[in-house]
């Protein structure tokens, strides 16, 4: 709730900037400080399942994006890489 | 309505996922007794789908999709896609309904000057008339006028379109763990053409628990509407209009995927889009109404800004329970047209015996209107710079309910069917409605049913 | 937390060097004097599917020259491991490590991984990943260790 009030005081540009900084922080924290976040390499059994990958049904996502794009005012947003078995 | 031609993005199958169905095909040549690589590991995947889309008594569309992904070698993946979109049926033009009959006139055909013309009926029940030619013109225009009865929406009844789109993509794993991807896409319908090129890169960290990816996309579109491009905010007429119009767009996306625990995958991405050029819908109109009676006096062609900057943040979460999988996606969007939206998607994959599954789905979407969206304009008031009555830009919320059934056939192969119901809910009775508009529904209801059949085969 | 982990790993590696690692069915002491190729695999890891024929090949070529190949399975589901083995048979013995204790002890950083242990019981090479381009290099490591004497 405090987060919400914090946002309300920001102008729209400040809010976007805040979001950008937040995203960047998560990225950097993940790469550096939280270097051990995540399971061990031999614990990727569930992630290896096709249904557990990011955007596991690209055809369905493309169809949905297309339908919603033609009926609504927003579009896009997705990215596609990551997850999986992590095999080398 | 135009199913505005956003070319489907190339099927970006993660290389890792495809490696799960790949064979090397390369034998260690130096050892004559080396065993052959198992031939049961597929290198090719064919992903197909058939979409049937039906809007409440209006637009109907059928769309087959084909995607082929081929593991070229250990590090490279090729993907090719093709889709055909057949759309028919009327769509609201943006005019308000009236207690009196209304007409919609559009240019229909150009003929040489002096060709004898008799008043005929064109497709969709329109009356064809001759538009008086300008002095010195060598051609003249036939216009089609369609009249609708009282208290009905003005619809473009002759709408029929066939769109096809092709795309090709390449994914390459480089040394140092970088994966590059690139693609091209082309989409064409009878009055619109779009060309896209995209490039992206991704890298894994933390023993493949973290993936960072970035991509850019450039799109160039050409609009060549039937009858030409109208001059915005001029009165609707049957004369032949202006030349083709262009627009272009640059998009960028930055994404972070993190395997949080053995069971939980999360992905966060930020996208930015910058478009400029012709953003109008050349067929859409907005009514100018009488300030007392609320009756439409004239119809004007709409006008939107010639720039659009969008931003969105997308969060995807998948959690693998003991057998089932839950997915929760959230998206926040805003653009400089004043549209803000939030989207929430929930899916629950309920596993059945034999690895088949039932997957209910619910989606909630809420959007706030564009700054220049108006139900109608009022005669006597100064004309705004931009105005559109396209409900796509209005305030509304939408709900989707769906159920999917899927069944694996073989390794990497699956057949599925998904049925969804979409309901868009807007305010059809704004408090400020004038005169006869108070008794009209100013937000044409939109409900749609979609059936998506899916078949993917790995070999 | 990280210091503690490093401490545990350090002890584990020291124990390994002394050949004192014991786990379900894995006692490296019994292989002293031989070269051990300890391969970590799982049913869900598809490079593993390609590595098995190559490992069978190693057994064929070098088992009479004191090479021991052991496949350490890290599947959480024994059933899935069995299914993999029925599709892709192994000419080497399998040890089951569902809790990942052996994988942790050898500080495995990727899947598949293999640890090459020399005749004196020392860990000499770690092979992370499997692909055609790496086969020759991996085999060269095996030959190098086989060529060494036990002292």
Q: What are the residue boundaries of the structural domains of chain A, listed by start?
A: 1-37, 39-88
pLDDT given for residue B124 in this prediction:
59
Range of weakest confidence among A74-83, B24-33, B448-457, C4-13: B24-33
Please, is B293 exposed, middle or buried when counting C-beta atoms within 10 Å of its C-beta (0-12, 13-18, 19+)?
middle
User: Residues 38-57, chain B: which have Cβ within 8 Å of A?
Assistant: 47-49, 51, 53
pLDDT given for residue C2 in this prediction:
62
How many angstroms away from the CA of C8 is the closest CA of chain A? 16
Tell me whether residues A87 and C113 touch, CB distance under 8 A.
no
How many angstroms away from the CA of B309 is the closest CA of chain A? 11
Sign of CA dihedral B404, B410, B412, B415: negative
Chains B & C: contacts with CB separation below 8 Å:
42
pLDDT given for residue B23 in this prediction:
30
- Do the beta carbons of residue C130 and residue A88 sit within 8 Å? yes
Domain count, chain C: 1
Of B207, B188, B206, B187, the C-alpha closest to B197 is B187
User: Of C53, C56, C131, which has the smallest distance from its Cβ to B74's Cβ?
Assistant: C131
Of B307, B312, B433, the C-alpha closest to B372 is B307
Strands across the sheet with B377-378, in order? B296-301, B285-289, B377-378
**C79 has a chain B CB within 8 A of its CB:** no
CA distance B18 to B456: 13
Contacts of C104 in chain A (CB under 8 A): 40
Is the predicted pLDDT of residue C13 greater than 80, yes or no? Answer: no
Is the predicted pLDDT of residue C60 greater than 90, yes or no? Answer: yes
CA distance A47 to B237: 59
Tell me whether residues C132 and B41 touch, CB distance under 8 A.
no
According to DSSP, the residues that pair with B127 across neighbouring strands are B121, B145
Question: Token digits for B359?
Answer: 């997957």
Contacts of B272 in chain A (CB under 8 A): none
Question: Token digits for B61?
Answer: 């569309």
Domain that residue C140 falls in = 2-147
Contacts of B207 in chain C (CB under 8 A): 109-110
CA distance B38 to B20: 13
How many angstroms away from the CA of B29 is the closest CA of chain C? 11
Tell me whether residues C53 and B35 touch, CB distance under 8 A.
yes
Question: Token digits for B351?
Answer: 């596993």
**A69 has a chain B CB within 8 A of its CB:** yes
Contacts of B23 in chain C (CB under 8 A): 50
The residue of chain C with its CA nearest to that of B21 is C46
Tell me whether residues A79 and B215 touch, CB distance under 8 A.
yes
**C47 has a chain A CB within 8 A of its CB:** yes
Is the predicted pLDDT of residue C111 greater than 60, yes or no? Answer: yes
Is the predicted pLDDT of residue C85 greater than 90, yes or no? Answer: yes
Contacts of C60 in chain B (CB under 8 A): 33
Q: Hey, what CATH topology would domain B15-27+38-96+152-458 get? A: Porin (2.40.160)
**A86 has a chain C CB within 8 A of its CB:** yes
The residue of chain B with its CA nearest to that of A59 is B11
pLDDT given for residue B306 in this prediction:
96
- The more confident residue out of C132 and A27 is C132
Of the pLDDT bands very low, low, confident and very high (cuts 50, 70, 90), residue C3 is: low
Chains A & C: contacts with CB separation below 8 Å:
54
The residue of chain C with its CA nearest to that of B209 is C110
User: Of A47, A48, A58, which has the smallest distance from its Cβ to B13's Cβ?
Assistant: A58
Of the pLDDT bands very low, low, confident and very high (cuts 50, 70, 90), residue A15 is: low
The residue of chain C with its CA nearest to that of A40 is C109
pLDDT given for residue A1 in this prediction:
44
pLDDT given for residue C44 in this prediction:
94
Inter-CA distances, B95 with B255, B285, B373, B403, Å: 41, 6, 13, 35
**A32 has a chain C CB within 8 A of its CB:** no
Contacts of A36 in chain C (CB under 8 A): 2
Question: Token digits for A66?
Answer: 């297309």
**A39 has a chain C CB within 8 A of its CB:** no
CA distance B270 to B381: 41
pLDDT, averaged across chain C: 85
CA distance A76 to B33: 52
CA distance B115 to B113: 6
**C123 has a chain A CB within 8 A of its CB:** no
- Do the beta carbons of residue C128 and residue C110 sit within 8 Å? yes
pLDDT given for residue C19 in this prediction:
39
Tell me whether residues C44 and A45 touch, CB distance under 8 A.
yes
Q: pLDDT, tens digit, for every residue of C66-80? A: 999 999 999 999 999
- The more confident residue out of A40 and B121 is A40
Tell me whether residues A41 and C42 touch, CB distance under 8 A.
no
How many angstroms away from the CA of B26 is the closest CA of chain C? 7
How many angstroms away from the CA of C29 is the closest CA of chain B? 30
Tell me whether residues A87 and C47 touch, CB distance under 8 A.
yes
Please, is B406 exposed, middle or buried when counting C-beta atoms within 10 Å of its C-beta (0-12, 13-18, 19+)?
buried
Is the predicted pLDDT of residue C23 greater than 90, yes or no? Answer: no
HEC sequence for chain B: CCCCCCCCCCCCCCHHHHHCCCCCCCCCCCCCCCCCCCCCCCCEEEEEEEEEEEECCCCEEEEEEEEEEEEEECCEEEEEEEEEEEEECCCECCCCCCCCCEEEEEEEEEEECCCCCCCEEEHHHEEEEEECCCCCCCEEEEEEEEEECCCCCCECCCCEEEEEEEEEEEEEECHHHEEEEEEEEEEEECCEEEEEEEEEEEEEECCCCEEEEEEEEEEEEEECCCCCECCCCCECCCCCCECCEEEEEEEEEEEEEEECCCCEEEEEEEEEEEEEECCCCCCCEEEEECCCCCCEEEEEECECCCEEEEEEEEEEEEEECCCCEEEEEEEEEEECCCCEEEEEEEEEEEECHHHCEEEEEEEEEEEECCCCECCCEECCCCCCCCEECCHHHCCEEEEEEEEEEEEECCCCCEEEEEEEEEEEEECCCCCCCCHHHHHCCCCCCEEEEEEEEEEEEEC
**What's the distance, CA C96 to chain centroid?**
12
pLDDT given for residue B146 in this prediction:
84
Tell me whether residues C103 and A45 touch, CB distance under 8 A.
no
Contacts of B34 in chain C (CB under 8 A): 53-54, 57
Residue pLDDT tens, chain B, 459 long: 333 333 333 333 343 333 333 332 222 233 333 333 344 568 899 999 999 999 987 888 999 999 999 999 888 999 999 999 888 878 889 999 999 998 888 888 888 887 777 666 655 567 778 777 778 888 888 888 888 888 888 887 666 788 999 999 999 999 888 999 999 999 998 889 999 999 999 999 999 999 999 999 999 999 998 889 999 999 998 888 899 999 999 999 999 999 999 999 999 999 999 999 999 999 999 999 999 999 999 999 999 999 999 999 999 999 999 999 999 999 999 999 999 999 999 999 999 998 999 999 999 999 999 999 999 999 999 999 999 999 999 999 999 999 999 999 987 799 999 999 999 999 999 999 999 999 999 998 899 999 999 999 998
**B350 has a chain A CB within 8 A of its CB:** no
Inter-CA distances, B105 with B109, B129, B141, B145, Å: 12, 10, 12, 4
CA distance B4 to B176: 40
Contacts of A40 in chain C (CB under 8 A): 100, 103-104, 108
CATH number, domain with residue C109: 3.40.30.10
Query: For strand B126-131 and strand B120-122, is the pairing parallel, antiparallel, or unpaired?
Result: antiparallel
Cβ neighbour number for residue B243 with a 10 Å cutoff: 8
Residues in contact with B239: Cβ distance below 8 Å, sequence separation at least 6, in sequence order: B107, B131, B141, B143
Say whether the ipTM exceeds 0.90.
Answer: no
User: Of B65, B256, B424, which has the smallest distance from its Cβ to A30's Cβ?
Assistant: B256
**C114 has a chain A CB within 8 A of its CB:** no
């Amino acid at each position: 709730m405090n987060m919400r009030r914090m946002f309300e005081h920001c102008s729209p540009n400040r809010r976007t900037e805040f979001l950008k900084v937040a995203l960047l922080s998560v990225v950097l924290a993940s790469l550096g400080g939280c270097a051990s976040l995540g399971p061990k390499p031999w614990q990727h059994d569930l992630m290896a399942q096709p249904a557990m990958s990011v955007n596991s049904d690209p055809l369905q996502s493309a169809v949905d994006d297309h339908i919603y794009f033609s009926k609504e005012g927003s579009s896009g947003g997705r990215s596609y890489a990551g997850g999986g078995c992590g095999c080398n | 309505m135009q199913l505005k031609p956003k070319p489907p993005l190339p099927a970006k199958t993660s290389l890792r996922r495809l490696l799960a169905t790949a064979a090397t095909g390369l034998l260690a040549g130096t050892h004559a007794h080396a065993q052959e690589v198992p031939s049961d590991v597929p290198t090719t995947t064919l992903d197909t789908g058939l979409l049937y889309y039906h809007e409440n008594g209006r637009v109907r569309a059928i769309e087959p999709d084909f995607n082929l992904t081929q593991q070229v070698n250990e590090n490279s993946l090729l993907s090719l896609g093709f889709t055909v979109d057949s759309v028919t049926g009327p769509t609201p033009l943006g005019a308000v309904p009236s207690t009196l009959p209304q007409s919609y006139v559009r240019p229909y055909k150009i003929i040489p000057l002096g060709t004898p013309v008799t008043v005929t009926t064109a497709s969709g029940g329109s009356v064809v008339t001759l538009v008086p030619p300008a002095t010195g013109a060598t051609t003249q225009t036939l216009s089609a006028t369609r009249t609708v009865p009282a208290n009905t929406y003005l619809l473009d009844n002759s709408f029929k379109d066939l769109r096809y789109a092709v795309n090709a993509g390449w994914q390459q794993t480089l040394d140092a763990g970088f994966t590059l991807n690139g693609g091209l896409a082309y989409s064409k319908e009878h009055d619109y053409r779009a060309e896209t090129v995209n490039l992206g890169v991704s890298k894994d960290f933390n023993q493949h628990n973290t993936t960072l990816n970035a991509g850019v996309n450039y799109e160039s579109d050409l609009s060549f509407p039937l009858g030409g491009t109208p001059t915005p905010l001029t009165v609707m007429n049957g004369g032949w209009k202006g030349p083709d119009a262009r627009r272009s767009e640059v998009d960028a996306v930055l994404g972070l995927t993190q395997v949080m625990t053995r069971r939980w995958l999360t992905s966060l991405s930020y996208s930015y889009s910058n478009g400029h050029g012709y953003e109008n819908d050349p067929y859409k109109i907005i009514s100018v109404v009488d300030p007392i009676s609320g009756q439409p006096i004239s119809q004007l062609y709409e006008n939107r800004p010639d720039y659009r900057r969008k931003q969105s943040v997308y969060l995807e979460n998948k959690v693998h329970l003991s057998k089932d999988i839950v997915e929760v996606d959230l998206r926040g969007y805003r653009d400089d047209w004043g549209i803000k939206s939030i989207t929430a998607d929930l899916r629950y994959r309920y596993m059945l015996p034999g690895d088949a599954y039932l997957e209910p789905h619910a989606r909630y979407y809420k959007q706030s209107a564009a700054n220049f969206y108006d139900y109608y304009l009022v005669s006597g008031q100064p004309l705004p710079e931009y105005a559109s009555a396209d409900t796509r830009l209005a305030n509304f919320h939408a709900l989707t309910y769906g159920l999917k059934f899927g069944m694996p056939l073989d390794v990497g192969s699956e057949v599925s069917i998904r049925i969804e119901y979409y309901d868009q809910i807007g305010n059809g009775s704004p408090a400020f409605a004038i005169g006869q508009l108070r008794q009209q529904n100013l937000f044409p209801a939109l409900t749609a049913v979609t059936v998506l059949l899916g078949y993917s085969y790995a070999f | 937390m990280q210091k503690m982990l490093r401490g545990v790993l350090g002890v584990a590696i020291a124990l390994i060097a002394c050949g004192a690692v014991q786990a379900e069915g894995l006692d490296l002491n019994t292989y002293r004097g031989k070269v051990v190729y300890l391969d970590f695999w799982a049913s869900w890891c598809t490079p593993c599917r390609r590595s098995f024929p190559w490992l069978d090949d190693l057994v064929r070529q070098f088992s009479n020259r004191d090479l021991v190949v052991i496949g350490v399975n890290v599947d959480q589901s024994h059933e899935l491991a069995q299914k993999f083995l029925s599709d892709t048979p192994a000419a080497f013995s399998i040890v089951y490590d569902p809790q990942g204790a052996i994988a942790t002890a050898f500080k495995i950083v990727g899947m598949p991984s293999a640890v090459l242990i020399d005749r004196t019981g020392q860990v000499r090479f770690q092979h992370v990943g499997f692909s055609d381009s790496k086969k020759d290099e991996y085999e060269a490591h095996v030959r190098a260790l086989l060529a060494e004497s036990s002292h």
